[in-house]
Amino acid sequence: MRTVLPLLLLLSVCLFATFPAAQEKAPSAKRKDPQSEYEPRSKPGEGQKFLQKFVGDWEVAKTFHPRSGDPVRQKGECRQTMIHGGRFLQSDFTFHGDAKTTGTGLIGFEPATGLFTSVWIDSRSTRMSFRQGQEKFDGQQIVLCSRVLGDDGKKGRVSRTVTRLEDDGRRIVHRQYTAGAGGRERLVMELVLTKKDKEPSEGR
C-alpha cells in the first residue's frame, strides 16, 4: 500500500504536467492560416457549378465581323479545366490560319456578390482584357462587360459578352458586342465551341 500511493501521486503529477502542454501544441485556426485574417477564404458556389459544365476538349469555330466587308472565319481547338480546387475555369485556345495564334482565358465567380470576373490574354497582343458582370448570375448565361484598370482618365473600348450553353451542354456560344451607330450594339465576334467526342478505348 505504501508503494502504491507514491506511484499514483507521481502518475497524477505527470498527467497534469503534460495536459496543458498538449493543449498549447494544438494551433488555433487563425494560427494555421494567419493570412485568412486579411484575405478570408471562400468556397465555390453556384457559378462554379455552371463553369464545371464547360470542362473538356472542344472544336472551335470563330467568326469575326468587321465594320465593313465579309466576316472572317477561323477554326481552332480549346481545352477547358477547373483549377485551384474547382474555383476557376481556365480556357486554352489554339487558332489555325495564315498564322497560328494562342489565347488563355481565366474566369471566376464570387458567391458573396454573385458576379463573374474574367481575364483574357493571347499571342496577338501584350494587353490584358478584363471583364466583370454587372448583374447577379441568373443561372442560365454569363454576361460580362469590359473593365479598365487604373484611373488615368483614358476611356477603354466598351464591349459586352454573352456566353450560353446549348444542345444539352454539348455546345457553347460566346458572342461579343460593341457599341455601334446610334448607340445600338453591333456583333463583333462569335465563338461556337462544339464538344469533341471521346475517343474509343483500345480493344473496342
67, 146: one domain: yes
Question: What is d(CA 105, CA 71) in angstroms, rounded to the nearest whole number?
Answer: 23
The predicted-structure confidence for 126-184, as pLDDT tens digits, reads as follows: 999 999 999 999 999 999 999 988 766 566 678 999 999 999 999 999 999 998 777 78
117, 187: one domain: yes
Sequence-ordered list of residues with C-beta below 8 angstroms from that of 191, at least 6 positions apart, any chain: 60, 61, 62, 63, 172, 173, 174, 175
20, 114: one domain: no
Please indicate, yes or no, if residue 204 is contained in any of the structural domains: no
Q: How many domains does the chain have?
A: 2
This prediction has a pTM of: 0.78
Please indicate, yes or no, if residue 89 is contained in any of the structural domains: yes
19, 81: one domain: no
9, 102: one domain: no
C-alpha 40: how far from chain center? 18
Please indicate, yes or no, if residue 202 is contained in any of the structural domains: no
Q: Which domain holds residue 55?
A: 46-195
90, 175: one domain: yes
The predicted-structure confidence for 85-139, as pLDDT tens digits, reads as follows: 999 999 999 999 878 999 999 999 999 999 999 999 999 999 999 999 999 999 9
- DSSP assignments along 30-63, one per residue: HHH-GGGGTS------HHHHHHGGG-EEEEEEEE
11, 91: one domain: no
C-alpha 137: how far from chain center? 14
18, 114: one domain: no
The predicted-structure confidence for 70-85, as pLDDT tens digits, reads as follows: 999 999 999 999 999 9
Per-residue b or e along 68-88, where b marks 16 or more CB atoms closer than 10 Å to that residue's CB: eeeeeeeebebebebeeeebb
Please indicate, yes or no, if residue 201 is contained in any of the structural domains: no
Which CATH number goes with the domain that contains 143? 2.40.128.20
C-alpha cell at 124: 496577338
| Average pLDDT of every residue of the chain | 85
97, 17: one domain: no
134, 170: one domain: yes
Question: What is d(CA 50, CA 197) in angstroms, rounded to the nearest whole number?
Answer: 21
Please indicate, yes or no, if residue 138 is contained in any of the structural domains: yes
59, 119: one domain: yes
Sequence-ordered list of residues with C-beta below 8 angstroms from that of 15, at least 6 positions apart, any chain: none
The predicted-structure confidence for 24-58, as pLDDT tens digits, reads as follows: 555 565 577 788 777 778 899 999 999 999 999 99
163, 120: one domain: yes
Please indicate, yes or no, if residue 30 is contained in any of the structural domains: yes
Please indicate, yes or no, if residue 95 is contained in any of the structural domains: yes
pLDDT at 179: 83
